[in-house]
Structure 1
Amino acid sequence: AACAAARMFAYNATLCACDPGYYLSPNGTGTACVSLPASGDGNTFADWQVGAVGAGSRNQTLYFLAPVLSLDAVRRLTQSQAVLLFTALVTLLSWLAFCAAARLAGRDPTGNKRLFRARFWISRLDCIFDTQHWADQQVLKKRKTELGGMCSVAALILFIGLVTVLLYQAINRRNIEVHRVKPANAPDLLAFVNDIEFHITTISSMSCSQVTAPSTIAMGTPGFMDFRVLPLSTLLTYSCQNTSQGPSITLKCSGCRMPPRDHYVSWQFVDLPRRPALAVGFQFNLTTKQTGDNEHVSFVSGTINSDNYGDEKLKTFRGTDSNVLKIQLFPQIYNKLNNLKLLQPLLQDFTPGSTFSDVSSLNASLQNPTDGVLNTTLYISYLSDYIVEISNESVIGPVSIIASIGGLYAFSIAIFLCLMAQCEARIKKLRNEDTRMLKILSKRRAQQNWDKVRKFVMYTWGPSNLDPTDRSGKWPEASMMDSLHESFHKKRKPTRRATSIATRTMRDHPDGSIDIERAG
């Protein structure tokens, strides 16, 4: 009943173990058998990463744009070249569709529709100069045709879209990283002084108490005269730490020079009561950096599952045969970073040791004291015959960009200029359409001016003066001239009355005397 969980079986009558490819992991209620997330899904190398932090990043600064435009802002706006081209294409098609809609729905002899006015403003956008075209102009000036305006704006949209894509390419592909290989001499190899760390985690339910720490390191090729066995402390420092996935072995070398021979380091896990020595995989993280430089680091990391190599069956590692992880270190010189010298680590190969893929064989191994070990060997190979020099070479500069912009401008103009010429030559209605539109606008302006004159005449002289049948010659009532006439007569009447009184008085008194009472 104690081993009734999924993927679990009993051995030695009282102890529990997991099926091949699974290991015991504590959870909230006890222990359960779990497997690696990538096991059996067909993508077992998905978490492998190889690269460099700081040293591998390319310098893509556009020095001639940096003072006026931030590179990060441009990179955020231009995430994908396909998106930029699609946006330019959609904008271009939208503009052509709008012009076609205005051309078909904007026919108005009176010129009052908004689409008709839109057609007029489209013709104002014509940027093409000519002396001979369908309007028969002899002076070099703008054509101001509807088709020319449509093609001018379309060429501008295409040009802006292509320039944006060019800017995207300039940001992402301005520099290329060039790798050159040269033969290595002994002084060149001795110049590589790196801090190296190897982290190997055995994915299992074991702990550091089960490991037999390595005490020696082997150098050279076994069986040859250059083969040596030295104490581990002469080159590496060893440590072990328990993690949630199992014991993690760490080997460090500070200020190491690159030796010309290979190295071998082995350690062993053994059975303890109720803790068998078995594992389902290995997790590795290998880093190197130049001594004294903490900014640039080369690394390789990933997980080796039981189904990485060979068939796709889930397996459990256990037994006397050693599991060999072959690591290669090859020298790299970064010329762009003041001749930075790094050893790039790679996990080239993994040789599995003793494995079990079925429950019965694993159960028999757990009950066999001879199989109660798990051996691991770290094989470090130095590729010291050649040195890789890495440098950046510029493939595009300000002159190239300016030349490309000029070519894109000529390409955009040529396409729509040819399209406009073909349309005007083959569709005869387009030849006189702009002339008709201008005549309609001229008539509309003349009508507006005539309406203004009529309003002025009606306000000044009255509406009867616009009637040819009225020949009376009188000022119409409520007109401006009638009001002026009345105001003029009202001012003159008192003066005429006073003059008539004075004349009558002189007629009654010839001697010049005045009858005050009568006059008053």
Structure 2
Amino acid sequence: MQCPSNSFRYNATQCACNPGYLFNITSRSCYLFNEWGPVEMDSGVDYHSVSFPGSGTIFDFDSIRKLTQSQAVFLEATLFMLLSWLFFCFFARCAPLGDGRSIWFRIRWWISRLDVCFASRHWLDDQQVVMKRKTELGGTFSIASWILFIGLFAALLYQIISKRAIEMHNVRATNAPDLAAFINDLEFNITTISSMSCLHLRGLGTVVTGNPGFVDYRFAPLSTFANYSCINTTKGPTIVLKCSNCPISRDSAYISWQFVDLPNSPATAIGFQFNLTAKDPKNKKHLSLVSGTLRNGSNFDNKPVTFRGLTPNILKFNFFPRMYHNLHDLRLIQPLLHEFLPGSSFNEISQLQASVQRPNDGLINTTLYVNFLSSYIVEIKNQNVLGPVSFLADLGGLYCISIGLFFYILVQCEYRIKKLRNEDCVMRKVRSRRKAQDRWDKLRKYVMYTYAPNQLEEVYDMRNDGCCTGVKMESLNRKSSSVRGRGSSRLDTISFSRKISLPSEKRAISEQIDTQGATRFLPESAADCRKSTRLKEERNHRLLII
């Protein structure tokens, strides 16, 4: 018979895994068990959630903690947004104002409209009336101060939620009535990590209470203490002890069991896994526990070992009572791992091979030692660190810092750079000039398309009187009513977004209208007459506008 890898042969025909290796029945191989982890403890009381009476948890602070980890995340995000805003405003300020029609002027104008914090605090000469002035620099610093304030306020809320209360512990001596009130449901789960099964189990059924050598030392059936059973799991046999409405009157208890050799199946183990829980039967929402995995400890420099032999493996646990005054006097027993004393074990293949061949070493002794610390009771209550007055004081301080910092920078900039003192006037003048130009263009378009055709008829009549020889004009028989009707229809279809700003453009349009209804013959002798006609047309057009 050939043995699998990471194993050795004993008794000439049997195979066993090396120290620290576990046999996998499915793959028929030995593998190194490395699912070790730290001992975990939970008090069963969550202080990082906000809930209302009669409802579940509505806000879980741990979900935010996983994303933020600390206040530094809020402060870094605030600094990034603040620098981005200042850089954007500086970049926009480098763009020229132009005639007030560019996109950059609109951006700079709306930045100045955001001056809500420093509108009445800009630079003023002596004996000047204080009035609101919205500047681009004031808008930049106003939004920057609000970004800083909101970021600091978020960091303050994080601090209030994470450290809103201090857990106060008070230890006091107990008496019999206090201990009688501590009744919890206890459950012990001890797994021997091995390839064994519950068929190897022997000697489970007795509990020893009290201290050896004292008068309270006595033996009792385990059924008087708890209900016990053995369950086969993938990691090995699990001893389950359940004690319902278990009192805490005893000082200590010892429970022992053994795993013995079976034919072709030696009693070996590579570690122990435990899970101890306690809960109040009146309030099963809160569950205190301690769990973990144990191996050789530091006896062999964390080398893989296999437990086997007469020396017992002792798992020591302490149980101490806690009373939570802030949770309607909740009484909960907190389990803790006190110590693990490893028993007989081997880390060399030759030593383990010799042990499995000795019948006297064919067992694993395990002892569960439970120590009830019943002399004292730990009373727990919460004390709020921040009240409404301190919160408002912190909030006001953050606001003063945010506004005061950028107000100081604003004053220094306007004091040292004189150009910044009247920048609001410059932007208002540019905007007013653009609005006046737009309104003037609309008025000129209205006048031209409403009254300009009459002036054109007069000009055409003057041309037909014979001042310009060699020009043949067709008769323009238009009535004043039709002229005004056509002018109004043209006004309805014209787009006011186009501007006509020079008189020469009006002449060009008038000439275009002339050429649409006339056939011209322009000899060189008529140049002077045409020039005089244009002068008259310009003069009449100017008089009409005035």
Say which of 301, 304, 307 aligns to 2:291. Answer: 301
Q: Secondary structure at the match of 1:462?
A: helix
Normalised TM-score (structure 1): 0.81
Q: Residue in 2 aligned with 1:115?
A: 104
Say which of 343, 349, 365 aligns to 1:375. Answer: 365
Say which of 111, 115, 124 aligns to 1:126. Answer: 115
Q: Which amino acid aligns with 2:134?
A: K
Q: Residue in 1 aligned with 2:29?
A: 32
Residues 442-453 of structure 1 aligned to structure 2 (within 5 Å):
442-453=432-443
User: What is the rounded CA distance, in whole Å, between the counterparts of 1:149 and 1:134 in structure 2?
Assistant: 18
Greater Cα shift, 182-191 or 75-84: 75-84
Say if 1:73 and 1:206 are closer, same or farther in 2 by CA, change over 3 A. closer
Q: Residue in 2 aligned with 1:255?
A: 245
Residues 5-404 of structure 1 aligned to structure 2 (within 5 Å):
5-27=4-26, 30-38=27-35, 44-46=36-38, 48-53=39-44, 56-58=45-47, 60-61=49-50, 71=59, 79-80=67-68, 81-105=71-95, 107-127=96-116, 128-130=118-120, 133-134=123-124, 138-307=128-297, 310-404=300-394
User: What is the rounded CA distance, in whole Å, between the counterparts of 1:241 and 1:74 in structure 2?
Assistant: 35
1:56-102 superposed Cα distances (whole Å, 9 cap, x missing partner): 11274387xx9xxx646996699424333333222222211111111
Q: Does the CA-based 8 Å contact 2:145-2:406 persist in structure 1?
A: yes
Q: Does the CA-based 8 Å contact 1:323-1:353 persist in structure 2?
A: yes
Q: CA deviation at 1:217?
A: 1.8
Q: Residue in 2 aligned with 1:441?
A: 431
User: What is the rounded CA distance, in whole Å, between the counterparts of 2:236 and 2:369 in structure 1?
Assistant: 21
1:369-425 superposed Cα distances (whole Å, 9 cap, x missing partner): 111111001111111221111222222344443333222221111111111111112
Q: Secondary structure at the match of 1:141?
A: coil
Q: Does the CA-based 8 Å contact 1:334-1:341 persist in structure 2?
A: yes
Say if 1:351 and 1:32 are closer, same or farther in 2 by CA, change over 3 A. same
Q: Which amino acid aligns with 1:58?
A: Y
Residues 398-437 of structure 1 aligned to structure 2 (within 5 Å):
398-437=388-427
1:2 aligns with 2:2: yes
Say if 1:378 and 1:111 are closer, same or farther in 2 by CA, change over 3 A. same
Greater Cα shift, 274-283 or 441-450: 441-450
Q: Secondary structure at the match of 1:142?
A: coil
User: What is the rounded CA distance, in whole Å, between the counterparts of 2:234 and 2:427 in structure 1?
Assistant: 81
Q: Does the CA-based 8 Å contact 1:62-1:171 persist in structure 2?
A: no
Say which of 470, 480, 483 aligns to 1:484. Answer: 480
Say if 1:322 and 1:232 are closer, same or farther in 2 by CA, change over 3 A. same
Normalised TM-score (structure 2): 0.77
Please provide the CA RMSD for this pair. 3.1
Q: Does the CA-based 8 Å contact 1:78-1:84 persist in structure 2?
A: no
Q: CA deviation at 1:430?
A: 2.1
Q: Does the CA-based 8 Å contact 2:98-2:105 persist in structure 1?
A: no
Q: Does the CA-based 8 Å contact 1:299-1:345 persist in structure 2?
A: yes
Q: CA deviation at 1:143?
A: 1.7
Q: CA deviation at 1:165?
A: 2.4
Q: Which amino acid aligns with 1:87?
A: A
Identity of aligned residues (%): 49
Aligned pairs, number: 462
Q: Which amino acid aligns with 2:385?
A: V
Q: Secondary structure at the match of 2:438?
A: helix
Q: Residue in 1 aligned with 2:444?
A: 454
Q: Does the CA-based 8 Å contact 1:110-1:444 persist in structure 2?
A: yes
Q: CA deviation at 1:31?
A: 1.6
Q: Secondary structure at the match of 1:296?
A: strand
1:176-208 superposed Cα distances (whole Å, 9 cap, x missing partner): 322221122222122211221111010001111
Q: CA deviation at 1:211?
A: 0.9
1:341-370 superposed Cα distances (whole Å, 9 cap, x missing partner): 111111110000001000000000010111
Q: Secondary structure at the match of 1:241?
A: strand
Say if 1:78 and 1:102 are closer, same or farther in 2 by CA, change over 3 A. farther
Q: Secondary structure at the match of 2:145?
A: helix
Q: Which runs of 5+ in 2 are unaligned?
A: 465-472, 485-546
Q: Which amino acid aligns with 2:28?
A: T
Q: CA deviation at 1:230?
A: 2.4
Q: Does the CA-based 8 Å contact 1:135-1:435 persist in structure 2?
A: no
User: What is the rounded CA distance, in whole Å, between the counterparts of 1:137 and 1:408 in structure 2?
Assistant: 34
User: What is the rounded CA distance, in whole Å, between the counterparts of 2:479 and 2:185 in structure 1?
Assistant: 108
Q: Which amino acid aligns with 2:2?
A: A
Q: Which amino acid aligns with 2:12?
A: A
Q: CA deviation at 1:235?
A: 1.7
Q: Does the CA-based 8 Å contact 2:99-2:430 persist in structure 1?
A: yes
User: What is the rounded CA distance, in whole Å, between the counterparts of 1:73 and 1:297 in structure 2?
Assistant: 19
Q: Residue in 1 aligned with 2:521?
A: none
Say if 1:261 and 1:487 are closer, same or farther in 2 by CA, change over 3 A. closer
